[in-house]
């Protein structure tokens, strides 16, 4: 009988203890912030949307290899010596590769940061921008190449011409050096 009343009292008392705690919290300072108006400062190394600096990118494809989810598409064309449009990297050295296509699909990106770690020229880095949600998945497909499609076509054409010229020269040179050698057409 005594334990019966003791149990009732303990149950009642422990509820009161809890209510005392919650009562104190009613007047405590609130911790939430009004998000779009107030913002929490993100640390500078926060891993959010990726950003490519085309002036640094050498098109080495190490980021493509490092990406676990294959969200980077990278296409490059070598810079031809007689291209009228020559460019320097950010550090002053002349550009060796045209990046004709550098596209990232942030619908796939898992924000692991492995591409940033892999990049030898620090061309790719995370930004603190996380508010890029969109109603259309295609809006998450970011294109970082600076060349317009026409320019890219032009570079490809130049490279193809250069390649053909090189091959012709090589052939001519080879024929000059070794006249007995079989013709390439015969080999095919």
Partner 1 sequence: MSEKKKIDIEYSQLDSERMRINVGPQHPSTHGVLRLEVEVDGEIVTDVVPHLGYLHRSFEKHCEYMTYPQIIPYIDRMDYISAMNNEWPYVMALEKMLDVKVPEKVEYLRVIVAELNRIANHQIAVATFGLDAGAFTPFLFYFRDREYIIWILEKLSGARLLYNYFRVGGVAGDVYPTFKEECHDVIAKVRKTNAEVMNLLIHNNIFIKRTAGVGILTPDVAINYGCSGPVLRGSGMAHDLRRDEPYSIYDRFDFDIPVGKGEVGVVGDCWNRNMVRMHEMEQSCRIIEQALEQMPMEGDVTAAIPKRIKLPKGEIYSRAENPKGELGFYIVSNGTDKPERLKARGPSFVNLSVIPEISKGYMFADLILILGSIDIVLGEVDR
Partner 2 sequence: MQSTNFIWDLFGVNLLTVVAVVALPLGFVLIYALVAILAELKISAWIQERLGPMRTGPYGILQPVAEVIKLLQKEDITPDASSKLLYNLAPFIIFSGAYAAFAVIPFSSAFMPANINVGLFYVFAIGSISAMGIVMGGWASSNKYSLMGAMRSVSQLISYEIPAAMAVLSIVVLSSSMNMQEISHAQTGYFWDWYLFGGPGSWTKVFIIPFTITLAIAYFIASLAETNRVPFDIPEGESELVAGFHTEYGGIKFAMFYFAEYANMFVVSAIFTTIFLGGWNSPFGEFLQGPGWGVMWFILKSFSIVFVQIWVRWTLPRFRVDQLMYLGWKVLLPVSFICFFAISLFVMFK
* Binding positions for partner 2, rule: CB under 8 A: 8, 12, 15, 18-19, 21-23, 25-32, 34
> Please, which residues have CB within 8 angstroms of residue 172's CB and are 6 or more apart in sequence?
none
- 53, 66, 97, 140: which one contacts partner 1 (CB under 8 A)? 66
Alpha carbon distances (Å) from 151 to 53, 60, 77, 96, 100: 19, 20, 11, 16, 8
Pick between residue 13 and residue 132 the one whose CB is nearest to partner 1. Answer: 13
- 68, 84, 92, 182: which one contacts partner 1 (CB under 8 A)? 68
Alpha carbon distances (Å) from 64 to 73, 104, 142, 148: 7, 10, 15, 22
28 binds, among partner 2, partner 1, none (CB under 5 to 8 A by kind): partner 2
> Please, which residues have CB within 8 angstroms of residue 95's CB and are 6 or more apart in sequence?
79, 86, 87, 88, 89
Residues 92-121 that bind partner 1 (CB under 8 A): 110-114, 117
Contacts to partner 1 by CB under 8 A:
10-11, 13-15, 17-18, 21-22, 25, 31, 42-43, 45-47, 66-68, 110-114, 117, 126
């Amino acid at each position: 009988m005594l334990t019966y009343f003791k149990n009732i009292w303990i149950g009642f008392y422990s509820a009161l203890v809890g209510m005392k705690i919650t009562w104190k919290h009613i007047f405590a300072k609130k911790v939430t912030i009004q998000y779009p108006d107030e913002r929490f400062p993100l640390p500078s190394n926060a891993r959010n949307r990726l950003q490519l600096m085309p002036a640094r990118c050498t098109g080495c494809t190490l980021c493509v290899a490092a990406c676990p989810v294959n969200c980077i598409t990278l296409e490059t064309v070598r810079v031809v010596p007689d291209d009228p449009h020559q460019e320097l990297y950010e550090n002053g050295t002349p550009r060796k590769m045209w990046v004709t296509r550098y596209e990232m699909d942030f619908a796939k990106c898992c924000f692991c940061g492995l591409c940033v770690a892999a990049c030898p020229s620090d061309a790719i880095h995370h930004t603190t921008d996380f508010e890029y949600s969109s109603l259309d998945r295609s809006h998450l497909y970011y294109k970082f190449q600076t060349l317009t499609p026409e320019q890219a076509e032009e570079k490809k054409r130049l490279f193809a011409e250069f390649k053909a010229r090189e091959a012709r020269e090589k052939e001519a040179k080879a024929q000059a050096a070794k006249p007995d050698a079989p013709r390439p057409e015969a080999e095919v």
